[in-house]
Structure 1
Amino acid sequence: MRSNQAHDAISTRLFDGLAYLGVLPFVIGIVMAYADFRFAGIDGRLWFTAYSSVILSFLCGVWWGGALNRLDHSHRLALMLLSNVVCLIGWCALLFYRFPFSLPVLAASYLFVERAEARLKPNLPYFAGYFESRSRVTYLVVFCHLVMIGVLWR
């Protein structure tokens, strides 16, 4: 039993570390936008919005996977439908990345995913610590969106 608990703790630390490391590309996009720097023709705004849309889609994929793997989940249909809707919203935000509504829509989508996840609980209880970290990272990502909005409209 003890080795199982240690394995869960190690796994949670890995997930936590990857979640916090995942904020770095948002910061890179902010710095690129602030410095008006382009990399291979990609400006900071596109970098940031594309990465944000990809991560949002990844989070929705977690819901999709949860729905596929938990046939007994009471909110299975909601997870499947919401994962698609939020993913499409992220895709539209990417398509219209030059429009002022794109970043606020993405930020709101992250908050929606975090709140819905807390309510729907798509994963097993032993990930509770991970989802606490995910909530903190979500708020950090939303803050990055607000900073990027400030940088773009300075």
Structure 2
Amino acid sequence: MDSSGYQQPVVDTRLFDILAYLGLCPFVIGLLLQIAEASLLGIDARLFFSAYSAVILSFLCGIWWGGALNRPGHPHRIALVFLSNLVALAGWIGLLLYQSAWGLPILAIGFAFVAWMEARLNPNLPGREQYFRTRSIVTYFVIACHLGMMLLS
């Protein structure tokens, strides 16, 4: 409930939850390719995994950007704008360094940072608690996949 006594409606996020879980498939495919020492369409497993990771990290930052754009009264609006850019650039650096020992850790730290900041900044509207539970589970799985890829590489 807000200060006027109005309670925000709970939003049905099932489609978003399903898409979040389906978004794990390329991470798993990258791990399986690495285990099999195989490539997909000539793209090695580490590049496949890192590129997808950087895209998803940028996508998550776009959610922050959209949250800042659509909620001009949000108390952390400016922080969301700058952090979204900073994390997206870090993801790009992680992708550029995909062959080094630094690429995957940078990407994994990016996901951990997004989860940590979302718990503090709450960039989105209330009523999406189920979605953010799903996002937390998916994020932990993604970080575990990054750790797995680091161990396999």
TM-score exceeds 0.5: yes
- 1:52 partnered with 2:53: yes
Q: Distance in 2 between matches of 1:43 and 1:93?
A: 16
- 1:26 partnered with 2:27: yes
Residue 120 of structure 2 corresponds to 119
Runs of 5+ consecutive residues of structure 1 not aligned to the other structure: none
Residue 101 of structure 2 corresponds to 100
- 1:65 partnered with 2:79: no
Shift of 1:40: 2.2
Deviations along 1:108-132, whole A, 9 cap, x unmatched?
1101000101100000011111101
Tell me which amino acid in the other structure corresponds to 1:134: R
Shift of 1:48: 0.2
Write out aligned runs for 1:5-16 (5 A).
8-9=11-12, 12-16=13-17
Deviations along 1:87-122, whole A, 9 cap, x unmatched?
000000101110011111111110100010110000
Tell me which amino acid in the other structure corresponds to 1:106: L
Tell me which amino acid in the other structure corresponds to 1:16: D
Q: Tell me which protein shows more helix as a share of its residues.
A: 1
- 2:128 match: secondary structure: helix
Number of aligned residue pairs: give it.
145
Shift of 1:39: 1.9
- Measured on the aligned residues, the alpha-carbon RMSD in Å equals 1.0
Shift of 1:141: 0.4
Shift of 1:24: 0.5
Tell me which amino acid in the other structure corresponds to 2:56: I
Detail structure 1 runs of 4+ shifted over 3 Å in the superposition: none
State TM-score, norm by structure 1. Answer: 0.91
Tell me which amino acid in the other structure corresponds to 2:117: A
State TM-score, norm by structure 2. Answer: 0.92
Q: Distance in 1 between matches of 2:111 and 2:39?
A: 26
Q: Distance in 1 between matches of 2:64 and 2:141?
A: 21
Q: Distance in 2 between matches of 1:106 and 1:60?
A: 13
Residue 90 of structure 1 corresponds to 91
